[in-house]
């Protein structure tokens, strides 16, 4: 069964008390530890240039799973690390510069929602064109941690 078909089946049969299965990238141990208090299972995509989980900041929650590192920056390498027996509900990008492009590709490939969660402000060194490129990246839902952050983006 392909990812799209699995997603349709999950949306039509998921029970209210079942946890959501979320793909993300290790980014912010404190924030992700708080997420894990919700009824979710988190699967973190890793690879070259992607931050790892730092257990000195927070211990790894029991419902947070680090996937094997991808061997390259190609979509296929990332997809090969994602469990095939789990139907995912969404992919969360927490760093538009580091994660959004691959998160967008995964979202499209798997037919799942892309949630963009902004922890950081735009880099003041970015050109107006680069900033506009990032502002206009597609996402099903954009979440900002403060009104100040929302206005900056």
pLDDT in tens, 22-76: 999 999 999 999 999 999 999 999 998 888 999 999 999 999 999 999 988 888 8
Mean pLDDT over 2-29 rounds to 78
**How large a percentage of the chain has pLDDT more than 90?**
56
pLDDT of residue 105: 94
pTM here is 0.85
Contact in structure between 118 and 149 (CB atoms under 8 Å): yes
pLDDT of residue 10: 63
């Amino acid at each position: 069964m392909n990812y799209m078909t699995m997603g349709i089946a999950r949306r039509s049969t998921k029970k209210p008390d079942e946890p959501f299965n979320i793909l993300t990238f290790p980014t912010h141990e404190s924030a992700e530890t708080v997420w894990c208090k919700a009824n979710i299972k988190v699967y973190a995509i890793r690879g070259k240039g992607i931050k790892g989980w730092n257990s000195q900041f927070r211990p790894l929650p029991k419902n947070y799973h680090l996937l094997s590192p991808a061997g390259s920056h190609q979509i296929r390498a990332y997809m090969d690390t994602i469990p095939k027996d789990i139907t995912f509900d969404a992919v969360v990008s927490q760093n538009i510069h580091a994660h959004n492009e691959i998160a967008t590709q995964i979202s499209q490939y798997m037919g799942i929602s892309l949630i963009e969660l902004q922890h950081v402000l735009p880099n003041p060194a970015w050109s107006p064109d680069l900033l506009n490129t990032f502002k206009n990246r597609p996402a099903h839902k954009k979440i900002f941690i403060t009104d100040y952050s929302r206005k900056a983006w």
